[in-house]
Structure 1
């Protein structure tokens, strides 16, 4: 059965009594159109239920009116929150979002970057690996995880190092001096910066132990022995998901938080306020990160030859009941 033909640009022009060029100007906002003429065109578009074909518009203009977002994974609740912030900022500019996840696999990451480059006007990329090959050549902004290997790209991140320094200062102010450090993966630039900031400002504190872990709720079996150490009176977890895992183990050990052990996380994911006790953490400015990443990407699309810029946004200590 032959499908019914949808309304064409010519149909809209005939209904409104204008040229097809005028209809195109209204649809694409490429030239000024008199208000009364625009109104007639908009009435005709609505009456005929005219829809722009995204593929046809991309072929005609070279623009997809979509941006790509590549995440390392969707398991960490911080990333969906950041994806929502990017989505909101993109829609505010009349652009859709194409989302992909690499699973922190280099081959998958390279394939996803190539696929997004074909379907989007630019890419916002949270790297899951050091530097996949080949690197993107189109408009690209690094979000959350800037690194020397990707210094040629614009980058947006929270001030992870300053966040680590805030944690050290908080433990000092709380009278907690024997600290266990549940660091994130060493390969993660953001996790490494948090640890560097903490250690540089914790010279008067005693580091009981320091272990690197994936950003996950499921801590290894060995974590029970670490957290049972009787000397321990504070734990810095370099992400909230790890901190929540630590709270669960401390509860199973009968150690009272924060009386016996204070716990501080990083990110301020939505669940951080719902733990028992509610988690003290370093808040990343998620909405601002998403908005700045989108604004920077649009600037890069408009000015492809400008020098790369790096934006670092401030973080905040959010004090809840997991610290005294």
Structure 2
């Protein structure tokens, strides 16, 4: 039994009453086509259910009409949230997304960049660390984690430093004075920027302890030990995942949140509103981050020259149930 072939470019052209070249112009968007003619071709394409293979399009135009998205990991729920925002923006602009994860490993990140460059017209990149071992050769936009090592690339990020400063202001307004700081990893530019913003604006606050942790729910024993410190009024966490991990530890210690100690996260992932009590946090503008990154990358793919542009988007304090006004505790 012979397999029936799919519709060809000539089939579409005959149905639309145009030349095959005109159909090609519409498919590849390589030359202007009158609106009425384009509409006829698009109706013919839909009627015949014509599909051009991505490889054929890339061979004809040199373009994949796909964007690479390189994430440092998939365990942190903030990154899939950001990936969804990028995907929706890319699809709205007629581009597919090719995903890769580096697992925050420099060697895997270099391999992933090379693989994406073969399959995509440009790359949106959330670096795994401060000093990558390989840089993209195709157009690229750094998302969420700008750093001095990547200053040559456009970047889109929430204002992590301002977010850290906002946490300090919230702590001061609530009357807390003694802080337990669960700082993020030193390899994360965003975590370091948040920490710097907090510390630079921590006038009148006492940092009782500062513990560096990875972005994970499973906090190390050293973090669990310092969370038992009865001197602290509030725990400031590097992100929501760490904050939720801390909430779990504090509950296991019999430490009431926010009765005995307040708790603040960062990101406003969907889980933050579902904890008990709901988590006070700093909200990042996820949809705008994804949309701005896609728009910037497509501009570069289209040939925009000029120096790299760096955009910091504002963040927002979201007060929920894990914080309250400080009252002196009995000895």
Matches within 5 A, 1:191-270: 191-270=191-270
Q: Who is 1:73 aligned against? A: 73
Q: CA deviation at 1:30?
A: 3.8
**Alpha-carbon contact 2:28-2:61 (below 8 Å) kept:** no
Matches within 5 A, 1:2-151: 2-151=2-151
CA–CA distance in structure 2, aligned partners of residues 113 and 45 of structure 1 = 35
CA distances 1:260-316 after superposition (whole Å, capped 9, x unpaired): 100000010000000111000011111111011111111111235321111001111
Mean Cα deviation higher: 314-323 or 12-21 = 12-21
**Alpha-carbon contact 2:213-2:223 (below 8 Å) kept:** no
Q: CA deviation at 1:43?
A: 3.4
CA–CA distance in structure 2, aligned partners of residues 271 and 60 of structure 1 = 45
Instruction: Give the 3 Å change call, closer, same or farther, for CA 34–153 of structure 1 in structure 2.
Output: closer
CA distances 1:51-105 after superposition (whole Å, capped 9, x unpaired): 1121111111111111000000000000000000000110110101111100001
**Alpha-carbon contact 1:168-1:202 (below 8 Å) kept:** yes
CA–CA distance in structure 1, aligned partners of residues 24 and 226 of structure 2 = 66
Q: Who is 2:171 aligned against? A: 171
Q: CA deviation at 1:48?
A: 2.3
CA–CA distance in structure 2, aligned partners of residues 77 and 162 of structure 1 = 22
When normalised by structure 2's length, the TM-score is 0.94
CA–CA distance in structure 2, aligned partners of residues 31 and 207 of structure 1 = 62
CA distances 1:208-244 after superposition (whole Å, capped 9, x unpaired): 1001000000011222321111111100001100000
Q: CA deviation at 1:25?
A: 2.6
**Alpha-carbon contact 1:6-1:50 (below 8 Å) kept:** yes
CA–CA distance in structure 2, aligned partners of residues 36 and 197 of structure 1 = 56
**Alpha-carbon contact 1:300-1:306 (below 8 Å) kept:** no
Q: Who is 1:307 aligned against? A: 307
Partner of 2:134: helix, strand, or coil? coil
Q: CA deviation at 1:194?
A: 0.5
Q: CA deviation at 1:32?
A: 4.2
CA–CA distance in structure 2, aligned partners of residues 219 and 80 of structure 1 = 21
CA distances 1:179-228 after superposition (whole Å, capped 9, x unpaired): 00000001111000000000011131010100100000001122232111
**Alpha-carbon contact 1:139-1:304 (below 8 Å) kept:** no
Matches within 5 A, 1:150-189: 150-189=150-189
CA–CA distance in structure 2, aligned partners of residues 122 and 191 of structure 1 = 26
Instruction: Give the 3 Å change call, closer, same or farther, for CA 2–109 of structure 1 in structure 2.
Output: farther
- Structure 1 stretches lacking a partner, 5+ long: none
Aligned residues: 324
Partner of 2:217: helix, strand, or coil? coil
Q: CA deviation at 1:34?
A: 4.3
CA–CA distance in structure 1, aligned partners of residues 247 and 76 of structure 2 = 17
CA distances 1:3-29 after superposition (whole Å, capped 9, x unpaired): 432221112212332211122233234
Partner of 1:267: helix, strand, or coil? coil
Partner of 2:265: helix, strand, or coil? strand
Instruction: Give the 3 Å change call, closer, same or farther, for CA 223–90 of structure 1 in structure 2.
Output: same
Q: Who is 1:320 aligned against? A: 320
Q: CA deviation at 1:50?
A: 1.4
Q: CA deviation at 1:134?
A: 2.8
Mean Cα deviation higher: 146-155 or 20-29 = 20-29
CA–CA distance in structure 1, aligned partners of residues 43 and 137 of structure 2 = 42
